[in-house]
Amino acid sequence: MDAPTHKLGIEDIADRITDAVMEHRLPPGIKLVEEKLANAFGVSRTKIRQALTLLATEGLVTIHANRGAFVARPTAADARDLFATRRLLEPEIVRNVITHACPAHLARLRAHLDEEAEARRHGDRRRIIRLSGQFHMLLAHASGNHFIEKLMAELCPLTCLIIALYDEPQTPACPEDEHSQIVEAIALRDEARAVSLMLQHLDHIERALHLEAPAAREIHWEALYG
Ligand SMILES: [Zn+2]
Write down the pLDDT at residue 15.
84
Answer whether residue 192 shows pLDDT above 90: yes
The candidate with the shortest Cα–Cα distance to 30, out of 20, 43, 38, is 20
pLDDT(208) > 90: no
Report whether pLDDT(167) > 90. no
Identify the pLDDT of residue 2.
47
Mean pLDDT computed over 61-73: 92
In order, the DSSP letters of the chain are -PPPSSPPPHHHHHHHHHHHHHTTSS-TT-EE-HHHHHHHHTS-HHHHHHHHHHHHHTTSEEEETTTEEEE----HHHHHHHHHHHHHHHHHHHHHHHHH--HHHHHHHHHHHHHHHHHHHTT-HHHHHHHHHHHHHHHHHHTT-HHHHHHHHHHHHHHHHHHHHHS-TTS-SS-TTHHHHHHHHHHTT-HHHHHHHHHHHHHHHHHT---SPPPP----GGGG--
Instruction: Tell whether the model's pLDDT for residue 175 goes beyond 80.
Output: no
- Asked whether residue 31 carries a pLDDT value surpassing 90, the answer given is yes
How do beta strands 61-64 and 31-32 pair? Answer: unpaired
Which of 14-28, 95-109, 204-218 is least confident?
A: 204-218
The residues pairing with 71 across neighbouring beta strands, listed in sequence order, are 61
Q: Measure 168 CA to ligand 1 centroid, in angstroms.
A: 16
pLDDT at residue 216 above 80? no
202 falls in which pLDDT band (50, 70, 90)? very high
CA–CA distance, 12 with 153 (Å, rounded to integer) = 20
At position 137, the amino acid (one-letter code) is: M
Q: What is the pLDDT of residue 40?
A: 93
Q: Rounded to the nearest whole angstrom, what is the distance from the C-alpha of residue 132 to the centroid of ligand 1?
A: 5
Interval between CA 195 and ligand 1 midpoint (Å):
13
Rounded to an integer, what distance in angstroms lies between the CA atom of residue 137 and that of residue 224?
29
How far is 215 from 217, CA to CA, in rounded Å?
Answer: 6
Reported as a pLDDT band with limits 50, 70 and 90, residue 30 is: very high
Cα 46 to middle of ligand 1, angstroms: 37
Average pLDDT over residues 99-105: 89
* Whole-number percent of the chain with pLDDT over 90: 50
Give the alpha-carbon dihedral of 172, 108, 149, 137, to 10 degrees.
10
Give me the percent of the chain exceeding a pLDDT of 70. 88
Tell me the average pLDDT across 55-69: 89
Range from 87-101, 110-124, 131-145, 170-184 carrying the lowest mean pLDDT: 170-184
Give the residue among 157, 161, 169 at the shortest CA–CA distance from 208: 169
Is there a contact between 155 and 143 (Cβ–Cβ < 8 Å)? no
Mean pLDDT of the residues in the chain: 86
Would the pTM of this model clear 0.85, i.e. be above it?
no
pLDDT exceeds 90 at position 153: no
Q: Please tell me the predicted confidence (pLDDT) of residue 225.
A: 63
Distance 136 CA to ligand 1 centre (A): 6
Ligand 1 centroid to Cα of residue 173, in Å, is 7
Neighbours of 114 (CB within 10 A): 10
Nearest in space to 177 (alpha carbons), one of 105, 90, 103, 116: 116
Distance, CA 131 to ligand 1 centroid (Å)? Answer: 9
Instruction: Note the pLDDT of residue 113.
Output: 96
Q: Angle 167-173-177 (CA atoms, 0-180°, nearest 5)?
A: 140
